[in-house]
Structure 1
Amino acid sequence: MAFGIFVHRADSIYDDAPSSRYQFPKPYLGRAKPLEGGWVVYYEPSKVPQSRGYFAVAKVARIVPDRTIDDMFVAEIEPETYLDFVTPVPLNAPDGQRNERGLGGRAQWAVRDLSPEDFRRITSLGLPEQEDFLPRVGDVPDGRLQEPRVPFEVERTIVQSLLSRPKRDYLFRRAVLAAYDSRCAVTGWKLINGGGRAEAEAAHIRPVEKGGPDSVQNGIALSGTLHWMFDRGLIGFSDELDILISRQVNDRSSVEAMINPSGRALAPDRPGLRPHPVFLRWHRENCLKP
C-alpha cells in the first residue's frame, strides 16, 4: 500500500476540496499516480500564518483528468475516509527532528510519497489515543472507546482504525470540540461536567449516511437540545452563519432565548475550520423545515 503527502492551503489557486478532491497540474501526475488506492496526509505549508502543519488523512480512490481544465488532474477521495486530525502535527518534532523523516530536499513538492514509518508517526500524533476524553452517551455505538491493542503493523492497525465507524465518530467529535473549544456554537455555553466531559456534541452538517465527510468543515458543536433540533431541521444556518429558526418550532421564544446575543453561530477563527457553505446549503435545502 502506498502513502503520500498532498500539500494544501485554504487560499489555494487550485479547485481543491480536501474531503472530496485534490486538483494538481500534469507535472505532478507521475508522483500522484502511485497513490491510487493508497492513503495521503494533508500538509499546510509552514509559510502560511499559524500553519496547521499535517492536518488530515484520506484515502485516494482514483486519479483522473480534470474534465474542465486541460493538463490538470484530480485525485478523487474515497467517501468516508477523510478525517481531520484531532491534534495538528507540526513539521518539526520537539527534539528538532522532522516528523516526516524522509522529507529530505522535497519540501517544495506539493505531491510526494511518504514512508509507512512516517505515515504511522504522523497519524499517531494527529489522532492520539486519549482515554480521559469520554464521549457522551450514544457517541460510540458499541460502547468501546478504542480498538483492542495488537502489535503495531501499519495496514492492520492504523488503516483499519481509520475505516472504523465507531472510532471515526469518536475522533470526529474530538476534532470538532477542539475547534470550538468545547463551546456550543448557538448558545455560546461551555459546560463541562465533574468528570471533564463537555456537554456540547459534534453534529455533522451533512450526515455521513447522506454523503457527508468527517471533516471539521462539515461539523459544528451544538448542545444536546440544539443538536436534536438541527438534525430535525428546526434550526439551520445561512452561509454567513446567521441562525435560522423554522416556522414549525412550536415554542420560538424559548429557542430564541438560547441563542447567543450575536444571532450568529460562533465559529473558529481559521477559515479552514469554519462550516463550509456547501454543507450549510445542503442542510438548508434538504433538512431545514420552512
Structure 2
Amino acid sequence: MTKAVFQHKADSIYDDTPWERYEFPKRYLRDVEKTKGDWIVYYEPRSAEGNQGRLRYFATARVTDVGPSTSHPEMFMAHIDPSSYVEFARPVDRVLDGRVIERSLRAPDGSIARGGNVQRAVRLLADDEFAAIAAHGIDASPERWEREHGFSDEAALFERPMIERLTRRAERDANFRKQVLRAYGNRCAISDFALANGFGRPEVEAAHIRPVTHSGPDTVRNGLALSHTVHWMFDRGLITITEDFSILVSENKVPSDVSARLIRPDRRLRRPENRRDDPHPEFLKYHRENIFGRGEPMYTLPPT
C-alpha cells in the first residue's frame, strides 16, 4: 500500500464523485493499484472554477478497491470509502512557505520542476508529505506538527498519528463544523437565525444531510448550518429539503405554530454565498427518501 495524489475538478469529464469513486485512464493503473487500502489526497488544477489559478489539495479519503470502470470502456475506477472522506477546512497550496511539499515535484533549486511528474494526474506520495498536507488541511496545529515530527527530505514513519486524527470523530466533526459554518455565514439555513453567545461563538451547528451513521461523507455539500432545535428536527425527519431547495415539513407531526417560528416564511433554504457549497442533490434526495417522515410527532407544552 502507498499514498497518492489524485487530480480532480468539479467539471471533470470523467465519472468522478470524490467521496465515492475516481475514474482514470489505464496509464495510471499500476500506481493507483498501489493505493488500495491506503489514503489519497485530492487536488484541484489551476483551471478549476474558483481556484484563483492555484493548485491546491482540498480533501483526503481512503481507497477500498480498484477495477474496470462501468461507465467508460478502456477506463478504470478507484472506489472510495465514503465514511473516510474528509474535506479540508482550509485548502492547502502546493507550495508552503516557499517549499514544494511533494519532493517529486521539486527542481534541484527547490522550485517547482517543469514537465515530468508535475503534469501527471496521479502521483505517489510519501507518508510524511501526506501527513504535512493533512495537518495543514484539517488545521491540526501544523506548526506544532512540523516542530515535533520534522519535515525533511527523507520520508519519516509518522503517518499513524495523522491517520488517527482523520479517523477520530471529534477531530472530523470540528473540521466539518468549521467548513459548514463558514459556508453559511454562521446563520441557520432554515430559520435564518444568527445567534451568538457573549464570547462570539455562534449558536448554529453543522448538520450532516446524509447521516454519518449512513456513511455520509464529511463534505460541505453534505452539510447544513442549523440552529440547535432545527438540527434536532432535521435529524429526526421532521424537516427535509428538496433538490430545488424548498423546505418541507412533516405537517402531521410538527405543530403549525412551531413551523411559523422556526422556518423561513418563504420556505426556501438559505443557500451558501458560494454556489459550489450548495447541498448536493444526491444527499438531499437520500435524506428525503430515508430520513424524512420517520420521526415521532413533536409535542409542545401548553401555556402556563
Normalised by the length of structure 1, the TM-score is: 0.85
Q: Which has the larger radius of gyration?
A: 2
Q: Within 2, Cα distance between the matches of 1:49 and 1:214?
A: 21
Does the aligned pair in 2 maintain the 1:7–1:45 contact within 8 Å? yes
* 3-state SS, counterpart of residue 66 of structure 2: strand
Match of 2:122 in 1: 111
2:28 paired with 1:21: no
Q: Within 2, Cα distance between the matches of 1:247 and 1:61?
A: 42
- Alpha-carbon shift at residue 69 of structure 1 (Å): 2.3
- Alpha-carbon shift at residue 60 of structure 1 (Å): 0.7
* 3-state SS, counterpart of residue 118 of structure 1: helix
- Alpha-carbon shift at residue 206 of structure 1 (Å): 1.2
* 3-state SS, counterpart of residue 76 of structure 1: strand
Q: Within 1, Cα distance between the matches of 2:183 and 2:93?
A: 17
Q: 1:49 to 1:255 in 2, by over 3 A?
A: same
- Alpha-carbon shift at residue 38 of structure 1 (Å): 1.6
2:180 paired with 1:169: no
2:93 paired with 1:82: no
* 3-state SS, counterpart of residue 216 of structure 2: coil
Structure 2 counterparts to residues 126-137 of structure 1, below 5 A: 126-129=137-140
Q: Within 1, Cα distance between the matches of 2:275 and 2:75?
A: 26
Match of 1:277 in 2: 281
Provide the alpha-carbon RMSD of the alignment: 2.3
2:54 paired with 1:50: no
| Percentage of pairs with the same residue | 44
Read off the aligned partner of 1:19 and give its amino acid letter: W
- Alpha-carbon shift at residue 125 of structure 1 (Å): 0.8
Structure 2 counterparts to residues 57-76 of structure 1, below 5 A: 57-76=60-79
Structure 2 counterparts to residues 1-290 of structure 1, below 5 A: 1-51=1-51, 53-93=56-96, 95-103=97-105, 104=113, 105=115, 106-129=117-140, 153-289=157-293
* 3-state SS, counterpart of residue 12 of structure 2: coil
Does the aligned pair in 1 maintain the 2:15–2:71 contact within 8 Å? no
Read off the aligned partner of 1:255 and give its amino acid letter: S
Match of 2:144 in 1: none
Does the aligned pair in 2 maintain the 1:268–1:274 contact within 8 Å? yes
Q: Within 2, Cα distance between the matches of 1:32 and 1:175?
A: 29
Does the aligned pair in 1 maintain the 2:183–2:274 contact within 8 Å? no
Q: Within 1, Cα distance between the matches of 2:104 and 2:268?
A: 45
